[in-house]
Amino acid sequence: QVQLVESGGGSVQAGGSLRLSCAASGATSSRYCMGWFRQAPGKEREGVAALDSNGITSYADSVKGRFTISRDNAKNTLYLQMNSLKPEDTAMYYCAARRGALPGGYCVTPRLEPWRYSYWGQGTQVTVSS
């Protein structure tokens, strides 16, 4: 089992920055693919950024060049640095993890589809005002 706890959300003005953190627990969580997702009211959950066991990343087109996903394996923590925030970035942000098919749960190819992920945090709200 993997437990995920997000933090770092808040309210900022357009153009501002926030850094989200996701603390993971579980013996093999550092090997898993992990990602950040968001869901705005009335909209489907969408992938924002993902990272595989080798540190390869993938981003949604809407956040490329503005958001950066990273992981500190020593701290078992996933981050999302969000710069140049826009009002359309307003959403609940979720951290998620998925075990890969390789031995030990190693995961290659970061994916942005929410249905691929088995473990989810409770979410942290990000609100960007214009």
pLDDT tens by residue, 18-59: 999 999 987 666 788 999 999 999 999 999 999 999 999 999
Mean pLDDT of 102-116: 90
Sorted by sequence, the CB contacts under 8 Å of residue 74 that are 6+ apart come out as none
Q: Which of 41, 17, 11 is nearest to 127 (CA)?
A: 11
pLDDT at 114 over 80: yes
Sorted by sequence, the CB contacts under 8 Å of residue 122 that are 6+ apart come out as 5, 6, 94
Residue 100 — very low, low, confident or very high, per pLDDT cuts 50/70/90?
Answer: confident
Residue 103: φ, ψ to 5°? -55, 140
**Cα dist. 107→17, 26, 50, 55, 88 in Å?**
30, 16, 11, 10, 31
**pLDDT of 28:** 63
Tell me which amino acid residue 83 is. N
